[in-house]
Amino acid sequence: MSRCKEWLKDTTNLAYLTMILVWLTTVITIKGFARLGHNVSTLQTAALMGFAVLGQAVVVISGGIDMSVSEIITLSSVTCAACIKAGLPTPVAMGIALLACMLVGAFNATSIVFLKVPPIIQTVAAGCIIEGTLLVLTNGTPPAGCGKLLSWMSKGKPLVVTNAFWIWMAVYAILWWMMNRSKFGRYVYAIGTNVNTAKNSGVHVTKMNYMIYMLSGFCAGISGILMLGNIGSTYLTIGDPYQLYSIASVVIGGIAITGGKGKFSGVIAGTILTVLIRDILNVMSISEAFRNIFQGLLVLVLLLAYGRERRAR
């Protein structure tokens, strides 16, 4: 019994358990949720935003936050579409888009490290700058361009679920290894727990910040490219919902928003659970007003449940 209690105390286990329970409930109670096709599309939605969540999780564990993921997603999908339209081969277009996203990450890290701008403000500001730049460059209507290869990479289904899902799993596996089995992960947790201690024990905090924010930009970039492949075109607000979703998924996955705590493996459960909850809200066909309120309340309740700071006094 005590072992069971101990197992439940781990927020990651709790997240996976909740995910399975919520999924079972929807399968039993909502018509159509048991179909394979529906579950495949749920996993596809989860995978598309899942990349951004992976990056966000690393940033949050390091004690920061990346509010620019939504704009980075837009940036990558618009850049990729523009490059494909200009006649570049798809892999080159993807490379350019990802490079642009990593540049944004490097910009974030530069301000955070050298100008000491708080991460929240830096990433909000970077988001504003990207949004404005895209508006100026595209004049409000982004170019449409998407090759067959990109569509196949995103929604082709040679192995039961879509390719995007398998790519998500692959990226997750690499990041899981980095976070749990390499020096990188140990340093990220060290910085998230206490920057000064980490610095004094020899962690190269500047280098780590560059890696962390560029990784987040890279991951959000993959999200953007595959979203372009999924719908075949893009628009300037394609990334907007994912600012809250990415943070919510990280929190739901059991990672403490204050940094340094929580297992990286929780992100998968967090992402799928977020998509399931969104689907349930959609099925209930409630108004946008209540959907907004519910999403906000959900994040708050989850934060209160396991994101609280230790009682300092």
Partner 1 sequence: MNEHTKSIASLTDRLPNQHKKLLSVYITFCVFLIAELIMDPLILKSYSRMWPLSLQFAPLMLCAMSQGCIMLVGGINLSLGASLSLATTIAAVTMFEGAGGTVGGIVATLVSGMAIGLVMGTVVTFGRLPDIIVTLAFSYIWNGAALLVLSKPGGHIPSAYSGFLQSQGVVPFAIIMILLLLVFWKIIKNTRLGINIYAIGGNAKASFESGIHVRLTKILAYIISGLFMSGAALVLVGQTGCGDPTIGNAYGTKSIAAAILGGFSFSGGIGQMKGAVLGAFIYIAIENVLFFSGFSSFYQYIIQGAILIAAIGLKVVSYYRRGGEGA
Distance CA 80, CA 224 (A): 9
- The 8-class DSSP code of residue 201 comes to T
Q: Which stretch binds partner 1 (CB under 8 A): 30-38, 133-141, 221-229, 264-272?
A: 133-141
Q: Which of 30, 106, 125, 231 binds partner 1 (CB under 8 A)?
A: 125
Residues 60 to 79 in contact with partner 1, rule: CB under 8 A: 65
293 counts as binding partner 1 under rule CB under 8 A = yes
Q: Which stretch binds partner 1 (CB under 8 A): 7-15, 21-29, 45-53, 286-294?
A: 286-294
Distance CA 123, CA 290 (A): 28
Q: Which stretch binds partner 1 (CB under 8 A): 25-33, 97-105, 182-190, 304-312?
A: 304-312
Distance CA 148, CA 301 (A): 43
The least distance separating partner 1 from the CB of residue 94, rounded to whole angstroms, comes to 26
* H-run or E-run covering 176: helix 163-181
Calculated CA dihedral for residues 145, 147, 152, 155, nearest 10 degrees: 10
User: Residue type at 203?
Assistant: V
Q: Which of 101, 208, 247, 272 binds partner 1 (CB under 8 A)?
A: 247
The interaxial angle of helices 148-155 and 163-181, nearest 10 deg, is 70
Count of positions on this chain that bind partner 1 (CB under 8 A): 48
Binding region for partner 1 (CB under 8 A): 65, 111, 115-118, 120-122, 124-129, 131-133, 135-136, 140, 244, 247, 251, 257-258, 287-297, 299-300, 303-304, 307-313
